Amino acid sequence: MRPWPLLLVLGACDVVPYGDGPRRAAVHDVAEQVILPTQEEIEATAAALDEADTLDELRAAWRDARDPWMESEAFRIGPVKDQLIDSSIDQWPIDAVEIDAVLAGIEPIDEDAIDALGASKKGFHALEYLIFGADDLADPRRAAYAAELAADLAEHATTLRAAWTGGYFDAFVDVGAEGAAFETIKEAVDALINQAVFLTELIVDGKLVAPIEIAGSDAAIDDVAANLRGLRRIWEVGLRGLVDARSPGAALRLDAELDAADAAIAAVPRPFAGALDGPEAAAALAAVREVRLSFTVDVVAILGATLSFNDNDGD
């Protein structure tokens, strides 16, 4: 039986409110040690994707670029949402009919043409459709489309990194200052906790039930593994210390649950789409559910967080 969170066990007189010090340090450390390096890795791997030439190089570079992007789902905060960069990079579902229409057309496929396309015809999944949905890039229009999509991804990755290094980092960590992203330190910590909860919900209710991938890429389970790596980094660098200060047992339990989830995901056979009804996929789903429960119940209660609505609520 899951122990009750410490805040629910202690009497009100036993609970010592946090000062801003540890929480401010946690927010700063997450931004400096997790978010900024990941934005830089997204930019670097997207640039390598833009430089890939052959189909094999494109496929490998696509996977390399996908990993840090999926890790960043654990902290999908700030410019990635405010500037709609997430939809430009990772729109799903794609419009395969319209993508095929572009391939069958006669208009030049260049930067201007890509800029004019809707989000459902570009980004990671549109490029996935082009490079995993064909055995080669002999078709010059497919090759041109893939090259332009890679360049577009690299441009948006640079825009995202520049937003963080160009001012949003300071806005994120200078809580309460003029122009800050958060008025109170509670809001900042709540934002990190909410993103952790939202991501575990997305994995449990979506990614491990209905894989988001193009046939042939087998990328969906890699996405989940990367999601969990990003979640673990936010936990270990930022939230864990705050939880451990109040409930060491809860912190240790979540450590073990993250380990179990990683192992369960790694044990799912490939291709993932063919293993959905198997025992390994069921075990992976159960393991991530435990992680979700700990964040949603224990971490929220122990840190006194306020849950907000997920972007997907009501869909």
Residue pLDDT tens, the chain, 315 long: 455 444 443 333 344 444 568 999 999 999 999 999 999 999 999 999 999 999 999 999 999 999 999 999 999 999 999 999 999 999 999 999 999 999 999 999 999 999 999 999 999 999 999 999 999 999 999 999 999 999 999 999 999 999 999 999 999 999 999 999 999 999 999 999 999 999 999 999 999 999 889 888 999 999 999 999 999 999 999 999 999 999 999 999 999 999 999 999 999 999 999 999 999 999 999 999 999 999 999 999 999 999 987 654 433
b vs e for 266-279, b when ≥16 Cβ sit within 10 Å of the residue's Cβ? eebeebbeebbeee
Cβ proximity of 153 and 49 under 8 Å: yes
Cβ proximity of 215 and 94 under 8 Å: no
- Domain 17-302 superfamily per CATH: M75 peptidase, HXXE motif (1.20.1420.20)
Indicate the DSSP class of residue 83: T
- Please report the pLDDT score of residue 215 as a whole number: 82
Backbone angles phi, psi at 222, to 5 degrees: -65, -40
What is d(CA 250, CA 5) in angstroms, rounded to the nearest whole number? 7
What is d(CA 187, CA 200) in angstroms, rounded to the nearest whole number? 20
Q: Tell me the pTM.
A: 0.92
> If we measure between CA atoms, which residue out of 71, 19, 26, 16 comes closest to residue 239?
26
Domain spans of the chain, in order of start: 17-302
Compute the Cα dihedral for 250, 299, 178, 38 and give only its sign. positive
Residues 6+ apart with CB under 8 A from 132: 59, 214, 215, 216, 217
For residues 123, 127, 133 and 136, what is the CA-based torsion angle, rounded to 10 degrees? 170
